[in-house]
Structure 1
Amino acid sequence: MRHLDSDALAALVAVADFGSFTAAAEHLGKTQAAVSMSVARLEERLGKKLFERGHRRITPTMTGDCLIAYARKIQSIEAEALEAVADRVTESRVRLGMPDDFLSSFGEALLHRFSPQNRSLYIDLTCDFSRKLRGMMDSGELDVAVVTQNSDDPPKSVFRYEKQVWCTGPTGAPEREDVLRLALFSDWCSARPRVFASLDRAGRAWRLAHSSSHLVGIHMAVASGNMLTVLPESAVPHGWRRLGAQEGLPDLPDLPLVLLVSRSERLAARRVAAFLQREFARPRDAASGGDDWIPQADEALPPRAARNKAVL
């Protein structure tokens, strides 16, 4: 019989997300034996292993990864079907978080392309640094978040590589100064140490002339003085000068972004995440190809962050 049991698929996805049968069983409200049996029956039916059982963590095989992707789609379709036949349509709020230097690209697309097609859904947007947004995901304050990759994220969790750009105002020439004057985000910004390291390796003298927790502060500082900054390519204002090797500035590592979605199983959150994935997914070979991003240990997820999943 050509049929996939939805409970077995739910067990499959939970084991993949939590990395163990015990944690998956706790999430599903079942016994560890029941979850193990569901996965074993799937493996027996397919005649292939779905997971590699390690000492510390269980990881999906290639076949497992393939089936997990389809299982997520099936779960999403089931949720959508149940909502479609509900007695009434209810307005849904999705609490979305992202650094504000991505607001002009991601936020604009959500406003002009997503919202008109999803009028029963509204987005409650929070802009902050990635490490703070991860904490909000962990505490259940957000449903979806766009954050930079850290050391706890699996490599496959990156959905977009964003090119970083040296830039300045249309009339400034800070690159000509012996000591570069930088306007950057505050020390909560995980990308900032890599900017400093790139300049040090290139032998360019620099000093931090201004820091801000918001993009508007960076814009004001660059506009008012002969300062240089680093922004994601999509956030560089129109008319600003983009600088690089020709001006004696080093290449910058691409910024790997991860899309986190809460485990609430809410269809509204899934819709927002699916839209961002569809509209903005950008693989490594489509980015600048700069130095590899090496996640820092101090960016690690809090212990309870296993409640949130990365959209692969």
Structure 2
Amino acid sequence: MSEVMASALDLESLRSFQVAAQLGSLGAAAQQRHRTTSAISMQIKRLEEVLGTRLLERGPRGVTPTAAGEALLQESRELLRLHDGMLSRFTGRGLGGKVRLGLPEDYARELLVDVLPDFIARHPDVLLEAVTATSGELARQLTRSQLALAVVLDRPHPLPGGVSLWRTTPVWAGPRVGRLTERASIPLALHEVDCPYRELAVEALEASGTPWHAVFTSTSIHAVEKAVEAGLAISVIDRERLTSAMRELGRDEGLPLLPPCEARLHVGKRIEEASRPAVEALAALLRERLHERGPWRAAPRST
């Protein structure tokens, strides 16, 4: 019996490992987990001893998961999700209420894959509704108290306050084959108005005196990307969304530089008291997973 117990994984140590791996820092994990850095280090060391392998590589800039650490990060996430959901259901101590969350469509897929399922497993009695829209539209819904929580880019309608999550990396994207930038007027695939990347593209081209025209406009990021891959146009998307059918364009093609945007987490002004603990819990999870990392680190893309 003692041998079995010695080989058991400690759930709190797994939580500390997850936070350290996601934030890339034992100190940041200690702050997030309300423990000392040495306590976090000891928890991870015990995990490594139980599993017989190194989970984190320590370096001057922080920590990064090893191959074994990456595997544990994925499998432990599911284990903790099942544990938290079961505990909530049997103890009745779960949160309740309703949370309406707004997300920019460009990042919704990654958040839906990982962060939101974790929240639902931990708090199965919370009625969570996630909606996607442009950042401009999300900003309007926040000011109208139609959302309890939203991730909003700081363009085209910056909101006061909020918590910084990550900085985006908008780039010019063109088809792998073709020289669309050599045309007299550059063909663009754009979102509708209120999209930060539409504003970036138009502002940059007009400031540099580069002629352009829209050949494709859509509310769907996937449709815009298909227009680029098909060779119809170039567009501005997050660098992480570049596919094998695209290539990044820039100064060599005569295109102007693009400034980054910042994704910020905003909480609605009017929230029902019964729902406030759930809103705060989701906000804390989003900050934990996305701070200085963005959704790409929170949910690694499959290849």
- Report what 2:292 is aligned to: 282
SS at match of 2:187: strand
More moved, 217-226 vs 95-104? 217-226
Could you list the per-position Cα deviations for residues 116-149 of structure 1 after superposition, in whole angstroms to 9, with x for gaps in the alignment?
A: 4444445311111222222322333221111122
- Given that residues 144 and 259 in structure 1 are in contact (C-alpha distance below 8 angstroms), is that contact kept between their aligned partners in structure 2? yes
Cα shift at 1:172: 4.2
Are 2:188 and 1:179 equivalent residues in the alignment?
no
Q: CA RMSD in A?
A: 3.3
- Report what 2:106 is aligned to: 101
Aligned positions, number? 202
Are 2:215 and 1:205 equivalent residues in the alignment?
no
2: CA distance between counterparts of 1:88 and 1:112? Answer: 19
- Given that residues 102 and 235 in structure 1 are in contact (C-alpha distance below 8 angstroms), is that contact kept between their aligned partners in structure 2? no
2: CA distance between counterparts of 1:112 and 1:236? Answer: 25
Write the letter of the residue equivalent to 1:210: F
Write the letter of the residue equivalent to 1:267: P
Call closer, same or farther: CA 1:261–1:175 in 2, change over 3 Å. same
More moved, 139-148 vs 109-118? 109-118
Structure 2 unpaired stretches of 5+: 1-30, 35-87, 294-303
1:227-306 pair list within 5 angstroms: 227-237=233-243, 239-263=245-269, 264=271, 266-282=276-292
Cα shift at 1:190: 4.0
SS at match of 1:260: strand
- Given that residues 178 and 205 in structure 1 are in contact (C-alpha distance below 8 angstroms), is that contact kept between their aligned partners in structure 2? yes
- Report what 1:16 is aligned to: none
SS at match of 2:131: strand
TM-score by length of 1: 0.55
SS at match of 2:206: helix
SS at match of 1:137: helix
The structure 1 residue matched to 2:129, chosen from 124, 128, 136, is: 124
- Given that residues 153 and 263 in structure 2 are in contact (C-alpha distance below 8 angstroms), is that contact kept between their aligned partners in structure 1? yes
1:164-175 pair list within 5 angstroms: 164-175=170-181
- Given that residues 137 and 145 in structure 1 are in contact (C-alpha distance below 8 angstroms), is that contact kept between their aligned partners in structure 2? yes
Could you list the per-position Cα deviations for residues 82-121 of structure 1 after superposition, in whole angstroms to 9, with x for gaps in the alignment?
A: x99x965455542111121111333333246544444444
Write the letter of the residue equivalent to 1:100: E
Could you list the per-position Cα deviations for residues 202-234 of structure 1 after superposition, in whole angstroms to 9, with x for gaps in the alignment?
A: 343221111112213312322334310101233
More moved, 232-241 vs 133-142? 232-241
Structure 1 unpaired stretches of 5+: 1-69, 74-82, 284-312
2: CA distance between counterparts of 1:123 and 1:233? Answer: 30
Cα shift at 1:260: 0.8
1: CA distance between counterparts of 2:106 and 2:144? Answer: 24
Cα shift at 1:162: 0.8
Cα shift at 1:243: 1.6
- Report what 2:160 is aligned to: 153
2: CA distance between counterparts of 1:278 and 1:88? Answer: 22
User: Identity over aligned residues, as a percent?
Assistant: 24
Cα shift at 1:173: 3.5
- Report what 2:76 is aligned to: none
SS at match of 2:114: helix
Runs of 4+ in 1 over 6 A off after TM superposition: none
- Given that residues 105 and 234 in structure 1 are in contact (C-alpha distance below 8 angstroms), is that contact kept between their aligned partners in structure 2? no
